Amino acid sequence: MSNQKRALVVDDSRSARLVLRRMLEKYGLLVDTIESAGQALDFLIHNRPDVIFMDHMMPGMDGFEAVKAIKNNPETATIPVMMYTSRGGDLYLGQARALGAVGVLPKTVAPAELFKSLLKIGLVTERRSEELELDEEDASERAEDLHKLAQPAPIHVAEAGLAPTGTPNSAELDQRLRRLLEEQSVELRKDVLLSLETVARQTSNRLNKELDEKLEQLTPPPPAPSPSILPVILLTGLLFVSLAWNVSLHNKDDS
């Protein structure tokens, strides 16, 4: 049985899933990607990843709701969940940890920051980081050497009478960049809408509470119940009966 660690990335952005997947694979992790929280819960019925990276704002169930569901299930409660979102700040970090998340990673996470998070939950070692740095350094040097060897002799455009044609596949690269920027823009808009919705809900609750308090102050107290005259009537009747009884006894004594 393989000891290779597995990670689950849950994000409705295809580009965000791809970026994080490639970064995790460099640290030797097997990575599964899913585009919604509901699909993630279904995935966890039969699978047990070693860590889950959860986006916050997604269609349907959001990231916080998914974390709560994962932690409330005894079968999945021990899986570390890391929020992977463009949201941040101490308040958000506190909310995430209160639900059971181990931390928050930004969408623009640096490799060093990702490594620290993986090291914290025991999915990588310091030795693995050193090996990865050496591999990347060697690969960079080899790529630089190949680039120098493949570099053609310089040609002066003005002397040759040629117009610059641009780099190869520049249109494709531009299209990819535009697509990534559009997806990131959608992510930011969703986060802004979520923040506005949260503020509106909190404001509505506060106003409703204040309105209830004002209504309680304006509502007059219920009137005190009017005293019943029945006891008075009964007492009067008893007095008459007692008086009549005494008069009757007095008449008998006189006779």
**pLDDT of 95-147, one tens digit each?**
999 999 999 999 888 899 999 999 998 998 875 555 455 455 544 554 455 45
For the chain, what percent of residues have pLDDT higher than 70?
A: 67
**185: CB partners within 8 A, 6+ apart:** none
pLDDT at 164 over 90: no
Please give the mean pLDDT across all residues of the chain: 78
First to last CA, the chain: 123
- Distance from C-alpha of 8 to C-alpha of 70, rounded to nearest angstrom: 13
Selected residue with higher pLDDT from 199 and 73: 73
Over 60: is that where the pLDDT of 172 sits?
A: yes
Tokens 């053609």 map to which residue? 152
Residue closest to 76 by CA, chosen among 107, 109, 54: 54
Which pLDDT does position 114 carry in this prediction? 92
The domain ranges of the chain are 6-133
Whole-number pLDDT of residue 235: 79
User: How, if at all, do strands 103-105 and 51-54 pair?
Assistant: unpaired
Identify which has the larger pLDDT, 162 or 126: 126
pLDDT tier, 179 (very low <50, low <70, confident <90, very high otherwise): confident
**Within the chain, where are the H helices?**
14-26, 37-46, 63-72, 90-99, 111-120, 126-150, 157-160, 170-218, 230-254
Domain 6-133 has CATH 2.30.40.10: no
Query: Residue 51: its pLDDT value, please?
Result: 95
Task: Judge whether residue 46 has pLDDT over 60.
Answer: yes
